[in-house]
Structure 1
């Protein structure tokens, strides 16, 4: 586990654990070793913080390219922090540049690390679960790692969209980990990736009980 990540996990993780006391279910579904993708619903910016807090291993998150490429002393410090946290660089441009983020994650997963992905592509604007995009499935097949469904409940109540800091609310956040979905032998064609993605979203829906919407979430959140 990277040193800066360890320090942040101790500082922020301890604060979240003591202040909000998140409930965790299915912790036994987190592999002790080897790479895996955690695919979860996305209700709040607090999702990543709570997820990183309750998972006992290093979890690689995505960070926009500006954090790696900004000029000057501040840019160098930020780049150092991103590398120190083990973050994965995300290109904000579309097309091939956007897919590069997933390519960057493949060696991370093959090296035995964990990566978090939100298949909806954005935070839910209304608490419902929207159709998943196939990126997580493509990444799992390419890296040869399982997908672990994650259901987060309550983060939208303690830190709704637009709010800077989470509201105090011990015991109001629940994080559930489903059984790993093995993608061994599954194809990387569009039909296969869509089938894997729909399976993942169905498992997430079982964990959260959210109303499912069979279309992509509007990218406003």
Structure 2
């Protein structure tokens, strides 16, 4: 894990330097020394890079839960295997869940995107309960993490801005949240605890957005709530439902052709 992860950190730092990205890290002291679940908002394809660089400031690394679809690519299979990342098959996620809990009990950080997919509206989507449930089972805290600005570089529905753009990107680690076993004893309770985490992260997201230095009206990476041209959460849901149906049709066609 170490050599490949270290190489990826060097590449991420080089990309930052080439692009002139202005990174700001807040709340680094909230990163636990032992195990913990990092619950991260998901607005772009590369928002894991600034999180990794922030963790490096504290001498920590995380095992990211990633979609199993990335395993179709040889390079991604190599990276997943050599960085301790955990591929998640959404139709059968129990194996990934067990691997994550085991890593947490051994003092590792596990990075989870509770929204499961990128948010086209750049607002927080509804959360899955996995982050809370695995934290409770392992007896570790959940650390809410907000990444803001990375969606300007590479995301869904926004123009790609990969060159030397000097984009500011903020990464904010909130205070660790502990959920006890009694609170998350069943699915109904897990849903309630997850809603509480969602509320915490919405407030944290708004705080980060309020302190962000660049928010031009009409920007395609800015939520409609803030005057941007990104779709509203309701509009984004319609787009995402259509995409999901299209992907399901492609998978079905692929199975028939095998």
Q: Is TM-score (shorter-chain normalized) higher than 0.5?
A: yes
Separation in 2, partners of 1:128, 1:78: 28
Helix, strand or coil: the match of 1:13? helix
Task: Tell me what 2:82 maps to.
Answer: 84
1:1-221 alignment runs, 5 A limit: 2-16=2-16, 19-31=20-32, 33-56=33-56, 57-65=60-68, 79-92=77-90, 94=91, 97-161=92-156, 166-185=162-181, 186-209=183-206, 218=240, 220=243
CA gap 1:207/1:89 in 2 versus in 1, 3 angstroms:
same
**Per-residue displacement from partner, 1:63-86 (whole Å, max 9, x unpaired)?**
444666x7xxx95x7645422211
Q: CA deviation at 1:45?
A: 0.9
Contact residue 59 and residue 116 of structure 1 kept, 8 A:
yes
Deviates more, 1:10-19 or 1:45-54: 10-19
Work out the CA distance in 1 between the residues paired with 2:47 and 2:69: 22
Partners in 1 of 2:161 and 2:82 — Cα distance? Answer: 24
- Please give the alpha-carbon distance, in whole angstroms, between the structure 2 residues aligned to 1:130 and 1:63: 18
Deviation digits for residues 152-211 of structure 1 (CA, Å, limit 9, x no counterpart):
111222223166673543252111110000123433311221122112111111121176
Q: Is the 8 A contact 1:26 1:177 kept in 2?
A: yes
Higher helix share: 2
Shift of 1:49: 1.4
Task: Give the C-alpha shift of residue 55 in structure 1.
Answer: 1.0
Structure 1 residue 23: Cα displacement: 0.9
Q: Cα offset for 1:2? A: 1.8
Output the TM-score relative to the length of structure 2: 0.71
Choose 1 or 2 for highest CA Rg.
2
Provide the C-alpha distance between the structure 1 equivalents of 2:119 and 2:178, rounded to a whole number of angstroms: 27
- Is the Cα–Cα contact under 8 Å of residues 152 and 160 in structure 2 kept in the other structure? no
Q: Which deviates more from structure 2 when the two are superposed, residues 13-22 or residues 113-122? A: 13-22
Q: Equivalent residue of 1:173, what SS?
A: strand
Q: What TM-score results when the alignment is normalised by the length of structure 1?
A: 0.82
- Of the structure 1 ranges 175-184 and 150-159, higher mean CA displacement relative to structure 2 is found in 150-159
Distance change >3 Å, CA 78–CA 202, structure 1 → 2: closer
Any stretches of 5+ residues in structure 2 without a counterpart?
210-224, 226-231, 245-258
Q: Partners in 1 of 2:204 and 2:89 — Cα distance?
A: 31
